Amino acid sequence: MDNRLYSPWRLRYVLSKKSEECIFCIKPKAENDEKHLILHRSKHSFVIMNTFPYNNGHLMVVPNRHLAVLSALNKQELSDLFELVQLTEKILNIVYSPDGINIGINLGRAAGAGIDQHLHVHLVPRWNGDVNFLSSLSGTRVIPESFERAYRRLKEEFDKAEEEK
């Protein structure tokens, strides 16, 4: 049997004009977190919403330093990155109550990294049955929440977590 996984909704991203500069370096320096969908910053990392999400709440945790592999992180950066992954998992559970969360890192273009020169960790909330008929039949993703509303809801929880420190 020849099983294939299609995700044609990603074509818009694949065909879009890519900046020569790294978006994970440019956006944090722009100092306009809401415009660039940056939800939270820690000492060595930040959380950003994916503008081409697979599901509602598709977030990425990104080290501040421009590097392509986990082995290039120092111990403080590695600890900070995964503490922020842990906090992001907690917040996604509070805001979206998913049935599960995919957490993954794609190292290199061949592994699926769309941005392969700047390490980032994907967190994608999943629900039982979240592959609906539109995705299956027409290749259309239904993301029922606007980026603005999602940003506000998620940002509120990240701010609460920061206050609790």
Q: How confident is the model at residue 73 (pLDDT cuts 50, 70, 90)?
A: very high
Catalytic residue among 40, 44, 58, 120: 120
* pLDDT for 146: 83
Check if 36 is active-site: no
The residue-averaged pLDDT of 52-70 equals 93
**What are the extents of the domains in the chain?**
18-164
How far apart are alpha carbons 84 and 78 in whole angstroms?
A: 10
- 141 versus 125: the higher-pLDDT residue is 125
How far apart are alpha carbons 146 and 29 in whole angstroms?
A: 24
**Does residue 161 surpass a pLDDT of 50?**
yes
Mind listing the pLDDT tens digit for each residue in 7-45? 565 666 666 666 678 999 999 999 899 999 999 999 999
Q: Is the pTM of this model over 0.85?
A: no
**Cβ–Cβ under 8 Å, residues 45 and 38:** no
The residue-averaged pLDDT of 58-74 equals 97
CA 119, 114, 85, 25: dihedral to nearest 10 degrees?
50
Task: Tell me what the pLDDT averaged over the chain comes to.
Answer: 86
Q: How confident is the model at residue 133 (pLDDT cuts 50, 70, 90)?
A: very low
Kindly report which listed range (60-74, 84-98, 99-113, 134-148) carries the lowest average pLDDT score.
Answer: 134-148
How far apart are alpha carbons 158 and 56 in whole angstroms?
A: 17
CATH number of 18-164: 3.30.428.10
In percent, the amount of the chain with pLDDT more than 70 equals 79
Q: Is 97 helix (H, G, I), strand (E, B) or coil?
A: coil
The residue-averaged pLDDT of 108-125 equals 91
* pLDDT for 8: 63
The residue-averaged pLDDT of 128-151 equals 65
